[in-house]
Amino acid sequence: MSKEKKHNEYTEATQSAEASNSDLTELEQALTEENEKLIAENDSLKTENEKLHKTVKRLQSSADKSDAYLNQLVAMKNDFESYKRRMKFNTEQAKAEGVVAVITKLVAVCDNFELAKQHLSGDNLKAFEMVYDQFLQILRENGVEEMDVMGKPFDPLKMNALSKLDRGEDSKDLVVEVYKKGYTMGDKVLRYAEVIVGA
């Protein structure tokens, strides 16, 4: 082979190697740039991820606080509803007890009416009975009833026995006399009847 041909081949090989080196350098540079971009993007994503984690924690904390406030509000509402029910019950009970206290005092007035009635006659008695009947009607409208105990078996839940009298076998353990009338208001005994029981 001639020298010139060898020189040409060498030059071509050198140029080819230089071109190849140049291509490699460009490729390495492009890869390096791409790698730097990816690293920068990764750092940016990490920063964004940290921000998102902080935001999620803040939102979770706010949600927890909201849940706690909601639970407190529900508990306060339930307490208030219970308080309203208790107050309503207490008010109704106090009202009922007040009515019972007043009516119990009025029942004692019935005894005075009964005594006064025994000392009146004629027109005075009629006028008195009208007032007395009106008084009893008001008591009945409020649920007060006079106990009907005469001739009935003795009931210790409604009567107080003052004594026993022998009035024959037919009257044994029956009410034979009523000393003071008894009164009820619904199921409640306002005043026990004071009675004498047959022995």
Residues 80, 107, single domain; the answer is yes
Residues 192, 112, single domain; the answer is no
Residue environment code for 171-185, b if the CB has 16+ CB neighbours within 10 A, otherwise e: eeebbbebebbbbbb
Residues 43, 125, single domain; the answer is yes
Q: How many domains is the chain built from?
A: 2
What pLDDT is stored for residue 27 in this prediction? 80
- Residue 101: which domain range? 3-142
Residues 96, 61, single domain; the answer is yes
What pLDDT is stored for residue 7 in this prediction? 60
What pLDDT is stored for residue 20 in this prediction? 59
Give the C-alpha separation, 173 to 141, whole Å. Answer: 33
Residues 132, 184, single domain; the answer is no
What pLDDT is stored for residue 2 in this prediction? 61
Residues 137, 150, single domain; the answer is no
What pLDDT is stored for residue 89 in this prediction? 93
Q: Which candidate, 193, 186, 183, places its Cα nearest to that of 104?
A: 183
What pLDDT is stored for residue 12 in this prediction? 64
Residues 29, 127, single domain; the answer is yes
Indicate the residue among 127, 142, 157 that finishes a domain: 142
Residue environment code for 78-103, b if the CB has 16+ CB neighbours within 10 A, otherwise e: eeeeeeeeeeeeeeeeeeeeeebeeb
What pLDDT is stored for residue 158 in this prediction? 93
Residues 71, 163, single domain; the answer is no
Split the chain (199 residues) into runs of 10 and give each run's mean pLDDT.
62 59 75 87 89 90 89 92 93 88 87 85 85 90 91 92 87 89 90 91
Residues 85, 129, single domain; the answer is yes
